[in-house]
Amino acid sequence: MNKKARDKTMEILSNRENKQIFLMKCLEEVAQEENFPLIDLEEKYKPYFVSFESSDGDRCVDDRYILTGLSEQYPYDKTQNSGYKGIALPGGTFGFIDALRYVTEMREDEAQNLVMQVYQENKWLIGDHIDDEHGQISDPEILKQRNQGCGDQDKKRAGLIPMLKDIVTSDDVDSRFIWIRNKGFLPVLAGEHRAKIAIVNLKEGETYCNEKAVKDDNYAFNFDLAEVEKRAAVFGQALEDQDKLSGEKNQFIEEIVRAVLRNYFQTLKALNGPAEIQVRK
């Protein structure tokens, strides 16, 4: 991106009233590069958006719902949990680690440490998921040792996400699940993928409620881009405070937003997911 274009992007980003313009610009450009057409979100999916809960663990864009939770520190309890309404991005919290490693030269341990610091300061909860091998595993002892089932991370382990093939190793992915089991939220998602659509959500403060959607057979992959941008700004400020930010903060925010978008599209391709994106504006 040339200096004139970047200056224009930063001007847009600095004006919060035009945030959606900035997000849409990034979405359109990355979608074109990854060959994903964009259409407006179908009406029938709009009622499933609800207020997200920042105290709920981050979750993946996966369309399924919770079978159980295995984190020792944050066990899942249906009588107390608000319904699995954390921010949704590819790989849950690991999506931020992937973006940080793609945009910066951080090692895996450095990215994990930064994420944990920022999350603790803001009272956010790290999270991703595993699964029950699409209904094939019921033994809780086996599930407690399982580090698979998040398609986004499984594809990175196999080197099938081009943008991260030479950055994230299988050992990195394995270390993440040990980390999140000890310090975050790791639910088990049940059953098969049945998503008919993939969504990019440009509205702040809301996310797709899988619990309600699954009951009505309106499964969808949903990515909360507006909330990702907000957290990217917090990461940028943390790096700036530590004198570790190379370049301007707004440039860093844009690069993180674009990296997570690209990750989403490449993961959808690797999973043979929907070939177009429905946009919630």
Q: Is 267 a domain residue? A: yes
Q: Is 253 a domain residue? A: yes
How many domains is the chain partitioned into structurally? 1
| Dihedral Cα 173, 178, 184, 186, nearest 10 deg | 70
Q: Which domain holds residue 202?
A: 3-8+19-30+47-280
Q: Is 195 a domain residue? A: yes
pLDDT tens over the chain, length 281 residues: 566 666 666 665 556 568 889 999 999 999 999 999 999 999 999 999 999 887 788 999 999 987 655 544 444 444 344 457 899 999 999 999 999 999 998 999 999 999 999 999 999 999 999 998 888 887 878 887 889 999 999 999 999 999 999 999 999 999 999 999 888 888 888 888 999 999 999 999 999 999 899 889 999 999 999 999 999 999 999 999 999 999 999 999 999 999 999 999 999 999 999 999 999 99
Q: Is 37 a domain residue? A: no
How many degrees, rounded to 5, is the angle at CA 223 between CA 11 and CA 137? Answer: 155
On whether the CB atoms of residues 198 and 220 are closer than 8 A, the answer is yes
Q: Is 13 a domain residue? A: no
Q: Is 54 a domain residue? A: yes
Q: Is 181 a domain residue? A: yes
Q: Is 235 a domain residue? A: yes
Single pTM value for the model: 0.89
Kindly give the interhelix angle for 225-241 and 249-270, rounded to the nearest 10 degrees.
140
DSSP code of 222? E
- Structure tokens, 68: 């159980």
